[in-house]
A and B are shown apart, each in its own frame.
Chain A
Amino acid sequence: MPRVVIRTPVGQILSVRQRSEPVDDRPSGDFDGHQLLMHRNAQERGAVLTEWVLDGLAHHEQVIVADDAGETHGVLADHGVDVDAALTSGRLLLASPEACVEDHRVLVDRALDAAHRRVRLAFRIEFQERLLSDREGDEFEASLDESVGSRPFSVLCQCGLEGDRPFDAPIRRHHGRMYSRHLSADPGPDLTVLRGEVDLSNAASCTAAVSAAAGSCTGGRFRIDLSGLEFLGVAGCRSILDGTAEFRRNGGSVSLLSPTSLSQIVLGHVDLPASVTIEPASW
């Protein structure tokens, strides 16, 4: 199945996606695949979750939200979603986190049997932390990967950045693919794409994303496309170096592709190790 991924940070998605009427029944591009949303607070999560639900409803998908104590109803209603109508129509399903982790495939296949052409699931990492061991968490995320690859199915995992919640494991389980208010990381087999802005506020999650992506790199050269990175400070530059440190220690090299003029300001001043090269945009 071809995978279409988030192309812009969340804020930009929200600013350009204003559809209120169903457009067609094709799968949505922006929310396809197995995504990890890193959110700073409940408000940010609620806004994206609402966008995600509306997008699924607009595309006639079965929308499943793992829900704890009816919390989702209020979140969606606060953002203007007619939750009762969606629930009554059967296109929105609030499922218990336990049912999701026990076997999400039952829920997905049941929806597909009920003639839904596609299914999407929203799941919070904190449920996973509460219900599953580390090993089980790995297995659960791997099973979601498998389902996304074998069914008309997509997943939006959500990880809060509040407090000291560790986020290395969620990012690793998503192979470095993540997006947040100001940064998205999109690892591919040959190229990892960073978009948005990297500064002190998100340098740690950038390090985790780059590290996970570099860990999956099978060749000797790890390539990062920086053309969509609108801001790169010293903290961001350090995060890339830190995220690739182990890969480089093992003999790998890193290519930073097409940095913007603003990113080049920092890259040009930081004393990059010999294992890291910059490849300007070629026309």
Chain B
Amino acid sequence: MTHGSYVHDQLLYDTDEELVAAVAPYVAAGSEAGETVVVSTTAPVAELLHRALGHDDQVVHLRTEDAYAHPPRTLTTFMQMVRDHVRAGTTGFRIVGQIDWDVSPERQREWLRHESLVNRALGEFAIPIHGLCLYDLRSVPLDVIAAAARAHPHHVDLCGRRANPTYAPPEVFLPSVATPVELPADPAVTLRLREPSDMASFRSALTAASAESRLGPADVDAFVVAVFEIVTNALLHGEPPVDIRLAVTDGRISCSVTDVGSGFDDPLAGHLPPPEDATGASYGLWLARQLCDHVTSGQTDDGFCVRLDLLAG
């Protein structure tokens, strides 16, 4: 079962030998076929593969900590990478990926969403694309492996490759790993906006409050832009008044934007880059996801709420 032209496999292994036995021929096949091959793994796995395969100019090696640093940005980067290679004339694309799951539960859910979204994001190119995701049974939490399994149309293990009957497409998978939206506790700033002309005065308050965090100036700028895109959406597509709560702690800045409208119910909203001529809310939400560490949304007692979080460091 594939989605578009993207073949997305989950490899389960619990020894280095199993890993090499599955990945080395996978990489070699892509290289021999003249495909672009990108291998994004931790250093130990890269070393194992290098020993098995030797050096190959056709294979691009990336480090997990670089390639998989921020789920929404990783998705955008992969899409851009494929787009660039398609323009350069590549006839096929092959990705070996290894996510670092030793992260917070919040971030784990972000990566699970990534694993699902990649089916849609890479499924819309005209060339065949193969992805092989590495799940080490010795280190990746079992609940993560089980959840991620539903995001992969195929599974690969010692017994071979087979279609996954529990595969859930993104519009089904994403709600199952959604993070409930919560208003930030102990807000330093609370504001109510009724019309676009209120935005400029709020911007200075937001910038000043954000500067109290441990975030650097570039992060504060990014957060201000993200919040304003969400406020713009609320004023433009939601229903005023728009209530804002901003909370700043040493290592985190959080902002909720709540309007009394019904919000959006598309689980993919803002997860994929908008088309070039997009003018709607999807652009602002997508940008906010690119700029923040966590974006959650949903109905609350007060209305539809989007919450943005940015972490220091």
Contact = CB atoms under 8 A, between A and B. Distances in A.
Contacts of B104: none
Interface residues of A, number: 20
A231 B236 CA distance: 18
Q: Is the interface of B mostly helix, strand, loop or mixed?
A: helix
Contacts, number: 54
Nearest to B220: A262
Interface in A227-283: 231, 233-235, 238, 261-262, 265-266, 269-271, 273
Given A238-B279, A262-B225, A197 B200 contact: yes
A200 B232 contact: yes
Given A265-B291, A266-B225, A234 B284 contact: yes
Contact of B203 (A40, A197, A270): A197
Contacts of B218: 261
Interface residues of B, number: 24
A201 interface: yes
Nearest to A203: B196
Interface string B277-310: 0010001100100110000000000000000000
Nearest to A182: B200
A199 interface: yes
Contacts of B273: 271
Contacts of B290: 269
Contacts of A238: 279
Interface in B222-239: 222, 224-225, 228-229, 232, 235-236
B221 interface: yes
Nearest to B235: A200
Interface string B164-204: 00000000000000000000000000000001110110010
Interface string A194-217: 000101110000000000000000
A235 B276 contact: no
A241 to B, nearest CB: 10
Contacts of B203: 197, 199, 231
A265 B229 CA distance: 12
B271 to A, nearest CB: 14
Nearest to A266: B225
The winner among B195, B197, B279 for most chain A CB atoms within 10 A is: B197
Contacts of A200: 196, 199, 232, 235-236
B287 A201 contact: no
A181 interface: yes
Contacts of B284: 233-234
A206 to B, nearest CB: 13
Contact of A234 (B224, B235, B283): B283
Contacts of A181: 200
Given A234-B287, A266-B287, A271-B276, A201 B200 contact: yes
Interface of A: 40, 181-182, 197, 199-201, 231, 233-235, 238, 261-262, 265-266, 269-271, 273
9 contacts: A199-B232, A231-B224, A231-B228, A233-B228, A233-B229, A234-B229, A234-B284, A261-B218, A261-B221
Given A199-B200, A233-B232, A269-B287, 18 more contacts: A40-B197, A181-B200, A197-B203, A199-B228, A199-B232, A200-B196, A200-B199, A201-B199, A231-B228, A233-B228, A233-B229, A234-B232, A234-B283, A235-B232, A262-B221, A266-B287, A270-B283, A271-B273
